[in-house]
């Protein structure tokens, strides 16, 4: 940082100064980087918040909260994200994507706690106008791609079942679905078809990214088949920071802001990220402190560019504990897309209380970009300049029109270079990938609405 | 001669991907194509020519100064620009503009290189020295403030010195040797630092169009490795020593990361630049206001420009003025910031180049 800061200040770059300040403070406290609270008395080892209990003692990290304050601080971040973006409303049925890792474990725990509280309120209220939202858990079994011994797999599944069944009622439905189920149920030999699809991608990073898109697709499938209205991911600040850098490296600057927001309503079931403001260290620590069981077995290894990026970000985070937050904050300043908020409920069947409740949340349309078309593979919105002569929308299965409709990044790292193998590659793709892009045309209604938004009168106007 | 040999002796031997006639001499860093030397020169120069034409960097009759440090980037830039100017009739008058920071054992030697380039390429040279402009050489400044923060002085002064030199030469534009690696690194650094204002403008090929003298980067899409390769094969005369005052600042995390990326996927550098160009930055994002320095009239967002604040500190015997977090004279706050020189720097090359 030595030379840069000097040059930087000539232009009044106060942001960096802020950061540098926190850089110094946070040497003392890994986990409390953002709160500037000082008075660090070495003699007095009490929680800096309640000043009553002793802070969590753990090896390596210096935590200044006691277990209770740490937990409530973390839960507070979760709840703030949920409430300020209308992620969960009483009539929702939410699906938590559970990988077994610490982030999704905490997401599951917090959603459970929130549901528990809602249940208590429901039981205590007289008119029972606000129903309790439902919770389900989805696990994607990737053993088709990353083979693991059968007994280890069974063990992991037993663990996961135990984790879910041990949560207090209301009971949560658990869906364990193999990744090859992303293909339609009537298709034959799904497992080999999936393997062949992934083997046809030569780029390591491209293969990994394609698998991630397929995973998301599987989760969406589970959600829509079982009537869920939200999909909750455990993506934390650290994960999102890695995504920001790797998206930049892959040339996805235009679509970057679509994937890092609290809400992503591109899909039939909107995806929400309530742990967007929590660091992975915090989540790991909570799992340790509260004895939340994690199951790491089902996760595939990372390699290629994604691996390089995550070790780079880890290195930066080590050097400055607020780095991941800064990365996410920078990317957060990029303009989001119109689908990055929960669509307003206009359905009359939804109880009035729920609708009224949603209005209270700040759902003001922010400045956002409308996008006409999406990459059929990664569902990224496409920049006008990135689209190569996209005129005939209808004939999607033809190999001539498929490639130009993809984003440059997928074109490079996922699609086959050889035009002859393109037809085969498309035949291996699960149906929804192509259908998804057709769906966009229907979704254009939203887009049209966006354009005339200023002239539409809505009842929310009177309230603000 | 190589071509004749390969044609006769090994008909089955690998040939250049472009001309399919000569034997390949190198693997092109940008594309990993195996090509011959002649084809390399051609694609290298042609790409730069296309960048210049497509972005309309130069207009006929313009006077253009090349920021020349004597290093590889600016030496190749001077060579290629004078070559292209002749070949494609840009009709511009080229000049070399060098800054003499007054660093014994570093800049004096590199300036000798620039002086040789002046003769080799037939371009008039103007050297602007810190001593003349500010009354201080870097050697003298380092004597006063030590090896911490010295790069701050050097960077701030150089930025202004280049503008003043350009004004002296009455040029319409300054061309600098920033290459694709530099720009990709800047994009990453601005993300890491949270500097959204710079992130939005760091990928533009021409900057400072509202200022006194615009700057452009003809090497925006040119890989550093290819520049080195070009200089090596053409046996260009350049200077390659690091600044004696910041030897550690050269390699930073971000630079290493980019080199690692390039190894896995050469196209990543261009991808980062493309990302930077396509970022959607909301119009409501606050941008710092641009004003003029009350003292010297140079562009400044504060009451006094940074160079004047630093100079005032030096002359009053308070060299820490304006360094680090304190805003110096601009709001009478003098706090000293701990700074270590380059050891854990996430960026590289803050010094020694014409990087602002």
Interface test with A, best of B183, B186, B191 (most A CBs within 10 A): B191
Rounded to whole angstroms, the Cα distance separating A78 from A84 reads: 10
Region of residue B91 (left: phi > 0; alpha: psi -120 to 50; beta: else): left
Any known ligand binding at B260? no
Q: Please check if B271 is assigned to a binding site.
A: no
Please answer yes or no on whether A305 and B276 come within 8 Å at the CB atom.
no
Rounded CA gap, B110 and B100, in Å?
9
On chain A, the residues whose CB falls within 8 A of the CB of B249 are 2-3
- In this predicted structure, what is the pLDDT of residue A109? 92
* In the predicted structure, residue A22 carries a pLDDT above the cut 50: no
Delimiting residues of CATH 3.40.50.620 domain(s) in chain B: 57-278
- A6 contacts B323? CB cut-off 8 A: yes
pTM confidence score: 0.81
Q: What are phi and psi of A11, to 5 degrees?
A: -115, 25
The mean per-residue pLDDT over the stretch B109-130 comes to 91
Instruction: Give the C-alpha separation, B276 to A448, whole Å.
Output: 29
Least confident of A29-33, A54-58, B175-179: A29-33
Asked if B280 and A254 come within 8 Å (Cβ–Cβ), the reply is yes
Q: Homologous superfamily of A67-344 in CATH?
A: HUPs (3.40.50.620)
* Least confident span in A104-113, A140-149, A351-360, B300-309: A351-360
As a whole number, mean pLDDT of residues A414-425 equals 83
Band of residue A124 on the pLDDT scale cut at 50, 70, 90:
confident
Q: What distance in Å separates residue B327's CA from the closest CA in chain A?
A: 8
CA gap B124, B93 in Å, rounded: 10
pLDDT band at A164 (very low <50, low <70, confident <90, very high): confident
Domain boundaries, chain A: 67-344, 373-449
Q: Is B68 annotated as a binding residue?
A: yes
| A316 touches B: beta carbon within 8 Å | yes
Q: Residue A59: CA atoms inside 13 Å, Cβ hemisphere, count? A: 0
- In this complex, the residue of A245, A326, A383 whose CB is nearest that of residue B193 is A326
Is B129 labelled a binding residue?
no
B69 marked as part of a ligand binding site: yes
User: CB A6 to CB B193 under 8 A?
Assistant: no
Interface mutation vs chain A, best among B221, B262, B271, most A CBs within 10 Å: B271
Structure-model confidence comparison of residues B323 and A422, the more confident one: A422
| Residue A395 in tokens | 């004939």
Domain B57-278 belongs in CATH node 3.20.20.80: no
Report how far apart, in Å, the C-alpha atoms of A194 and of each of A101, A395, A431, A432, B265 are. Answer: 24, 24, 12, 14, 26
Q: Are A304 and A310 in contact (CB under 8 A)?
A: no
CB A17 within 8 A of CB B337: no
Residue B291 corresponds to which tokens in the numbers above?
A: 């004003």
Answer yes or no: is the ipTM higher than 0.85. no
pLDDT at B87: 94
């Amino acid at each position: 940082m030595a030379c840069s800061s000097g040059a930087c200040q000539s232009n009044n770059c106060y942001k960096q100064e802020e950061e540098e300040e926190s850089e110094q403070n946070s040497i003392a406290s890994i986990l409390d980087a953002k709160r500037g609270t000082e008075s660090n008395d070495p003699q007095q080892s009490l929680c800096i918040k309640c000043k009553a209990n002793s802070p969590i003692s753990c090896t390596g990290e210096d935590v200044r909260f006691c277990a209770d304050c740490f937990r409530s601080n973390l839960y507070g971040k979760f709840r703030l994200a949920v409430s300020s973006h209308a992620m969960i409303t009483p009539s929702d049925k939410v699906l938590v994507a559970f990988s077994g890792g610490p982030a999704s474990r905490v997401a599951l725990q917090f959603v459970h706690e929130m549901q528990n509280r809602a249940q208590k309120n429901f039981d205590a209220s007289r008119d029972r106008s606000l129903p309790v939202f439902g919770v389900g858990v989805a696990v994607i079994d990737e053993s088709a791609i990353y083979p693991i011994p059968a007994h280890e797999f069974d063990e992991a599944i037993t663990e996961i079942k135990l984790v879910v069944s041990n949560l207090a009622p209301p009971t949560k439905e658990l869906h364990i679905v193999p990744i090859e189920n992303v293909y339609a149920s009537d298709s034959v030999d799904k497992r080999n078809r999936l393997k062949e699809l992934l083997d046809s991608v030569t780029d390591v990073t491209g293969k990994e990214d394609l698998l991630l898109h397929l995973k998301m697709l599987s989760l969406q499938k589970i959600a829509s088949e079982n009537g869920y209205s939200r999909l909750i991911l455990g993506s934390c600040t650290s994960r999102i920071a890695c995504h920001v850098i790797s998206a930049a490296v892959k040339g996805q600057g235009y679509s970057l802001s679509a994937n890092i927001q609290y809400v992503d309503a591109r899909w039939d079931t909107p995806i929400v990220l309530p742990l967007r403001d929590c660091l992975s260290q915090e989540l790991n620590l909570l799992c340790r402190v509260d004895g939340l069981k994690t199951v790491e077995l089902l996760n595939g290894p990372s390699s290629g560019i994604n691996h390089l990026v995550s070790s780079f970000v880890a290195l930066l985070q080590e050097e400055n504990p607020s780095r991941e937050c800064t990365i996410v904050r920078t990317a957060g300043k990029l303009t989001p897309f119109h689908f990055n908020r929960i669509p307003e409920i206009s359905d009359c069947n939804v109880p009035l209380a729920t609708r009224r409740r949603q209005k209270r949340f700040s759902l003001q349309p922010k400045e956002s970009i409308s996008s006409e078309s999406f990459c059929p593979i990664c569902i990224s919105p496409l920049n006008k300049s990135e689209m190569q002569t996209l005129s005939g929308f209808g004939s999607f299965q033809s190999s001539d029109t498929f490639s130009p409709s993809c984003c440059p990044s997928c074109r490079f790292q996922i699609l086959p270079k050889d035009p002859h193998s393109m037809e085969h590659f498309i035949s291996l793709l699960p149906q929804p990938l192509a259908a998804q892009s057709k769906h966009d045309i229907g979704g254009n209604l939203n887009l049209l609405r966006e354009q005339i938004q200023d002239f539409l009168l809505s009842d929310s106007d009177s309230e603000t | 001669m190589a071509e004749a040999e390969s044609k006769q002796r090994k008909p089955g031997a690998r040939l250049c991907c472009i001309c399919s006639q000569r034997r390949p001499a190198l693997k092109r860093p940008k594309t990993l194509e195996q090509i011959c030397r002649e084809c390399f020169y051609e694609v290298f120069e042609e790409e730069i020519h296309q960048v210049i034409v497509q972005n309309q960097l130069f207009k006929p009759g313009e006077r253009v100064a090349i920021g020349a440090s004597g290093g590889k980037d600016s030496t190749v830039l001077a060579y290629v620009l004078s070559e292209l100017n002749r070949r494609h009739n840009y009709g511009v008058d080229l000049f070399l503009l060098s800054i003499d920071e007054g660093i014994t054992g570093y800049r004096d030697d590199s300036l000798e290189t620039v002086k040789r380039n002046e003769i080799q390429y037939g371009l008039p040279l103007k050297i602007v020295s810190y001593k003349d402009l500010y009354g201080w050489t870097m050697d003298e400044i380092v004597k006063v403030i030590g090896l911490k923060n010295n790069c701050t002085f050097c960077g701030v002064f150089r930025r202004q010195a280049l503008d003043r030199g350009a004004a002296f030469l009455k040029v319409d534009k300054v061309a600098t040797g920033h290459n694709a690696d530099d720009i990709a690194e800047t994009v990453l650094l601005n993300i890491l630092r949270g500097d959204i204002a710079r992130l939005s403008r760091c990928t533009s090929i021409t900057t400072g169009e509202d200022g006194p003298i615009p700057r452009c980067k003809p090497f925006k899409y040119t890989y550093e490795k290819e520049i080195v390769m070009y200089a090596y094969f053409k046996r260009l005369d350049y200077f390659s020593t690091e600044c004696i005052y910041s030897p550690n600042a050269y390699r930073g995390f971000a630079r290493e990361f980019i080199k690692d990326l390039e190894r896995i996927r050469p196209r990543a550098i261009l991808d980062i630049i493309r990302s930077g160009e396509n970022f959607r930055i909301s119009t409501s994002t606050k941008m710092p206001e641009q004003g003029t320095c009350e003292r010297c009239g140079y562009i400044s967002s504060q009451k006094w420009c940074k160079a004047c604040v630093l100079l005032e500190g030096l002359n009053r015997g308070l060299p820490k003025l304006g360094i680090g977090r304190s805003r110096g004279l601009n709001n009478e706050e003098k706090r000293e910031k701990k700074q270590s020189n380059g050891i854990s720097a996430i960026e590289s090359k803050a010094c020694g180049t014409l990087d602002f």
